[in-house]
Amino acid sequence: MATMPDRINRDKKDGELYKKLNGEEFLKFKGSGGKRTRKEQFFFAMAIGFKNNIKRPLNTKEGFFLIKDLLPIDETLINAVAINDYDSVEILANKGEVFKIAEEYAHAGIRLLVDKIESIEFGKFEKKLEQEIFEIYNKIGLKNG
């Protein structure tokens, strides 16, 4: 039986990339005077990797944050991504694999995110992101508000 991991990892080299998120006020890490936690940054990177359907295996793992810090809603998202990726709920029986999928999406996502920030004119990333989110949102077709 696989042992339950106690932390979420990132690739050691991603440390620099996560630092670069500090260039965008709303993605900035709390420790640098911003408002995002490592966990929040990780989830955003994971979403970007997922959006682009790219996973990258981690070369050198480095603990990023503790599993105990995950809220039910966080775990739900990680599980959902894993179920979607594995196309079976059985994956949930192997939590190590579930987290690995999330880590690999985040590893690919952080690179894509930083590339995007750097390729867009300063101060325009937020606007661009809003535009892209709306494009996806309109495709979802969920209507209420």
Partner 1 sequence: MRIKKIILSNYRQFKDIEITFTKKCKSDLHIIIGKNGTGKTNILNALNWCLYYDEPHLSRNSQQLPLINLQSVDEAEDGENKYVKVEVWVESTENRYFIFTRKAFYIIYKNGKNEKHPKKQHTEFEVKYTNEKGNTNIIQNEEADFFVERFVPKAIREFFFFDGERLDNYFKEATAERIRHTITLISQVDLLENKIERRLSDILKEFRKEAGKENPKINDTRINLEENENSFASTEKQIKECKDQIDIAKKRIKGYEEKLREIPDIESLEKELNSLKISKKHEKETLYNKIEEKQDLLFEYGKNIILWPAIKNSIKIIEAKRKNKEIPPVIDKKLIEGILKNEVCICGRRLDDNSKKRVADLLDEIKLSSGIVIQLVNMENPLYLIKEGIKEFRKKNYNLTRDINNYNKILEGIEEKMNQIDGKIINFNSKKIKEWYEDSKKFGKIRDDNQKNLGILEERKNEFSKNIDTLNEQLKKEIQKEKKIIKIKKQIDFCIKSLYIVEKTKEIIREKTRERIESETNKIFFKLIWKKRTFKNIDINQDYNINLIHSMGYECLGTIGAAERELLALSFTLALHTISGFDSPILVDTPVARVADEHRENLGKIFSKVSKNKQIILLFTSAEYSKEISKLLDTENSSRFNFKLSENEKETRLEMI
Query: With binding defined as CB under 8 A, does residue 133 bind partner 1?
Result: yes
Pick from 8, 17, 81, 117 the residue near partner 1 by CB under 8 A: 81
Query: With binding defined as CB under 8 A, does residue 102 bind partner 1?
Result: no
Instruction: Give the nearest distance from C-beta 26 to partner 1 in angstroms.
Output: 4
Query: With binding defined as CB under 8 A, does residue 67 bind partner 1?
Result: no
Backbone angles phi, psi at 11, to 5 degrees: -75, 140
List own/partner pairs for 83-87 with CB under 8 A and 24 or more apart: 85/55
Query: With binding defined as CB under 8 A, does residue 26 bind partner 1?
Result: yes
Instruction: Give the nearest distance from C-beta 74 to partner 1 in angstroms.
Output: 9
Strand partners, 62: 10
Instruction: Give the nearest distance from C-beta 129 to partner 1 in angstroms.
Output: 6
Query: With binding defined as CB under 8 A, does residue 123 bind partner 1?
Result: no
Query: DSSP per residue over 42-87, as a string?
Result: HHHHHHHHHHTT-----SSEEEEEEGGG--HHHHHHHHHHHHHHHT
Q: Give the whole-angstrom CA distance, residue 81 versus residue 65.
A: 19
Query: With binding defined as CB under 8 A, does residue 40 bind partner 1?
Result: yes
Query: With binding defined as CB under 8 A, does residue 69 bind partner 1?
Result: no
- Helical pair 95-119 and 38-51, crossing angle rounded to 10 deg: 80
Query: With binding defined as CB under 8 A, does residue 1 bind partner 1?
Result: no
